[in-house]
Chains A and B, each alone.
Chain A
């Protein structure tokens, strides 16, 4: 099974991994330039701004003088990032001096932005055509609902209330890595799937969008087109309506998928149809999560391991079920308990590859409980009682009591001298696992076996 590491990598890492030709093409779009500039580390942003009006190449030496001595590593990171994104081009001249120059297309686009200010990608539709727009709160509710519906469908296809029109093949792509599909067995969450569910919404969105983009080639869509459209989308104003006819064919099919994810809301009037970007869409170009968009928590964990979740969401219930025993479900409250069995249930899902991977699990469970703490308990520090987190750690440690190592057993030594020499030899190689001097037996790690055999052969002679 291919190991899918879920890291909330950001959009820009993906952009950076595009081939050079496509990357250069992307920069002809001013919105992408803006989004990319914003995603840079602060120092890199500063350099871009500083070099914006300089047409001539700047020597690397003089750039190093811009920072103080303690900022040298940051300087290197910034320059590397700029080179990686092909925002800076490096040239080495005859005197072996390195000079940098800003990507001319990028530069002129940013200069235009500075002089003219920000421009919207497309004009919102006039209100007299549309009538009444949904309020921002309604839009937010819509986005959350849509997203949770999607997640439910993702983890448990039978539970979803409304089937979305994301094709089942695309859905399969999303599920790949998150669910393990063994034959004749109901699909189970894999370790990465488990982590995925416990991540915050923005990180989840990144994961899905990334899969969506990397999968686009199979659907016959150029990934760079898709990236530029998604970035452009993030510059639309939340809650304004935009005419769907202003989109290209490819974008129109994309936007239907995005509507299922809750990134945009589609509406239809008498003649025209339009899309309204939600907060999920406008957050896309933000460099990952910001704490200001944190949602209100709903979980209260008590010192007696009982767990109260004030939520009506089915998804929350499903997530809690992953590691807690849900006892009853009231209209607005889920009551459960964290027990040893329920946690083992959770750990079991992931004990496929190596045991060390349990540690991030634990981390994800505890951080999920902390991040979603109900406002009443969130003020307290720690928001999850210490005895509960400690106990979870202990239970987890219980699972790792046994450590297995392939080994070889040696016995029937001809004499005590040989036995002792063998023990010393094994110790020297750091491979002695166990010894019984009475019965003259010892256990050696498998990797030392060949050396040990060699040693014993020599000892015999």
Chain B
């Protein structure tokens, strides 16, 4: 007689953090309207909750100016449907999302001159990681799922101000063994999301046909971590591993690295801008480095 038949199916309980891109600037230029996109995502969330009674889903919206929790299945579970027609999950989420967008717009108006044209990935990533730590990971395995319309293009290098913050949160995700899955809806591949998934052992996917987004989501991202070990999942073909420099946020192939804090610079500096270490007698080394560079 088996000593513990009770643990038979318990290893597929998962906690899924979904980070949604709600940046209006990106969605206006998309071939997939935001409402359609949402309905795909809602079905996806439903399917996760359907698979196991103990599964949990937390949705974090990442907007133009701030990011916030939009939905938490553990809080919503006890309420039940309010008006009988709309299921609890949808109404709850849509309402919160609307509030979020209104607030986002307000914030934008207040500080418009500062306006960042990229979604605040770093903020929502750290929020998600905090949330994962808050939950009990003994009974479930956590994974992060990023669904982003467009991150930032490599060309617009001035627009990636959160580079260091994002990389740090990716590494802390790696440390806490949380895989980051990313679904990128856009024309070019996003090096950032590719790197994030590669480092943390998640899956990066760029759906070809946006009409079937739900199928992509349910096939790839609804897989619990236990099943991933023996399921055929999309593999990364080539990951752009190039880093951005800390001074101009340019993507570079070769550069200078601070030997103390490992900050990356595209040009030689006298002093590290991150940790303040003074780079002495660099002149001669500099030449050899620039030789290498060319």
Chain A contacts to B: CB under 8 angstroms: 7-8, 34, 37-43, 45-46, 49-50, 52-53, 65-68, 70-71, 74, 110, 113-120, 123-124, 200, 202-203, 237, 240, 285-292, 360, 363, 367
Contact = CB atoms under 8 A, between A and B. Distances in A.
Contacts of B8: 287-288
Contact of B50 (A37, A67, A203, A291): A37
A305 to B, nearest CB: 24
Interface in B2-44: 3, 5-12, 42-43
Interface string B83-97: 010011110000000
B172 interface: no
Is the interface on chain B under 10, 10 to 19, 20 to 34, or 35 or more residues? 35 or more
Given A116-B87, A119-B81, A53 B214 contact: yes
A68 B232 contact: yes
29 contacts: A8-B5, A39-B9, A46-B227, A50-B218, A66-B231, A66-B232, A67-B230, A68-B230, A68-B231, A71-B229, A110-B50, A113-B50, A114-B43, A115-B46, A117-B42, A117-B49, A118-B46, A120-B81, A200-B6, A202-B6, A237-B80, A287-B9, A287-B10, A288-B5, A289-B6, A291-B7, A360-B1, A363-B1, A367-B3
Contacts of A237: 78, 80
Contact of A290 (B42, B54, B80, B226): B54
Interface string B211-223: 0001100110011
Given A43-B230, A110-B50, A117-B89, 19 more contacts: A8-B5, A38-B52, A39-B9, A53-B214, A68-B232, A71-B229, A113-B46, A114-B43, A114-B46, A117-B49, A117-B87, A118-B49, A118-B50, A287-B8, A287-B9, A288-B9, A291-B6, A291-B7, A292-B139
Contacts of B43: 114-115
Given A42-B12, A50-B218, A118-B87, A34 B50 contact: yes
Nearest to A48: B51
Interface in B204-251: 214-215, 218-219, 222-224, 226-227, 229-232
B53 interface: yes
B6 A42 contact: no
Interface centre among B50, B88, B215, B218 (most CB of A within 10 A): B50
A45 B46 contact: no
A292 B52 CA distance: 14
10 A-B pairs with the lowest CB-CB distances in the bound complex, closest first: A71-B230, A117-B87, A42-B12, A289-B6, A117-B89, A287-B9, A114-B43, A114-B46, A42-B227, A49-B218
Given A113-B50, A115-B43, A46 B231 contact: yes
A328 B47 CA distance: 55
Contacts, number: 114
Contacts of B88: 117-118
Nearest to B136: A292
A113 B78 CA distance: 18
Contacts of A67: 230-232
Interface of B: 1, 3, 5-12, 42-43, 46-47, 49-54, 78, 80-81, 84, 87-90, 139, 214-215, 218-219, 222-224, 226-227, 229-232
Contacts of A118: 46, 49-50, 87-89
B227 A43 contact: yes
A288 B215 CA distance: 30
Contacts of B230: 43, 67-68, 70-71, 74
A292 B78 CA distance: 18
Contacts of A290: 6, 10, 54, 139
A70 B230 CA distance: 6
A128 to B, nearest CB: 17
Nearest to A288: B6
Contacts of A114: 43, 46-47, 50
Nearest to A66: B232
Contacts of B78: 237
Contacts of A45: 12, 51-52
A203 B229 CA distance: 30
B1 A7 contact: yes
Nearest to A292: B139
Interface centre among A34, A45, A200 (most CB of B within 10 A): A45
Nearest to A120: B80
Given A286-B53, A291-B10, A71 B231 contact: yes
A117 B90 contact: yes
A42 B89 CA distance: 24
A195 to B, nearest CB: 9
A119 B47 CA distance: 14
B97 to A, nearest CB: 15
Contacts of B84: 123
Nearest to A68: B230
Contact of A37 (B6, B10, B51): B51
B46 A42 contact: no
Nearest to B13: A290
A59 B19 CA distance: 35
